[in-house]
Amino acid sequence: RVATREATAAGIRWIFAPMVDVARDARWGRIVEGCGEDPYLNAVMAAARVRGIQGDGIDNPESAIATVKHYIAYGAAEGGRDYNTVDLSERSLRETYLPPFTAAIEAGAGAVMVAFNEINAVPATSNRFTVEEILRGELDFDGIVVSDWGSIYELKNHRSAGDLLSASAQALNAGVDIDMESRGYVKHLES
């Protein structure tokens, strides 16, 4: 709450936090940003952090929009390598990696940031199943879905898209509302 008051005093009204990734491999460099390996602890902390950022409502000048990240299973990257692939069952997705996001959304999070990683060979940024079916459909999330920094452009690196136009179309069709940094929506949205 204190950090949000400081941010809003400087005019910042949208915060890219909390990071709620369940992380079980100490080799992953971002492990220190989260709340560890326990889905329950991560869920409790996710909800508390959303309430701290958003306060009694984002219309309060000392509140901001919370962005829950990195959706989803980013902390399960193989070998602890950033942006890497994730190979997991739907059961693990739902029982281990989804609870913190569910708790944050139930606490009223205004935004969700999709991750860099692939889940079962589908990049999170273009994963219609996780974004449209689970996040929007099952969790009834109606807030903002934003890409991670350059993750739409990185669909080319995942070999999911051949160019920025195709990458932008994939992300948009998967339910990503805002393109952070790739500039694909700006260049190709009308296409």
**Predicted pLDDT at 121:** 95
Strand partners, 65: 14
**Predicted pLDDT at 142:** 97
Query: pLDDT by residue (tens digit) across 2-11?
Result: 999 999 999 9
**Predicted pLDDT at 70:** 97
Element housing 8 (H / E):
helix 2-9
Average confidence score pLDDT of the chain: 95
**Predicted pLDDT at 69:** 98
pLDDT at 191 over 80: no
**Predicted pLDDT at 30:** 87
C-alpha torsion 137→158→182→12, nearest 10 = 60
Q: How confident is the model at residue 28 (pLDDT cuts 50, 70, 90)?
A: confident
Residue type, 167: A
Query: pLDDT by residue (tens digit) across 111-120?
Result: 999 999 999 9
Catalogue the active-site residues: 148
pLDDT at 84 over 90: no
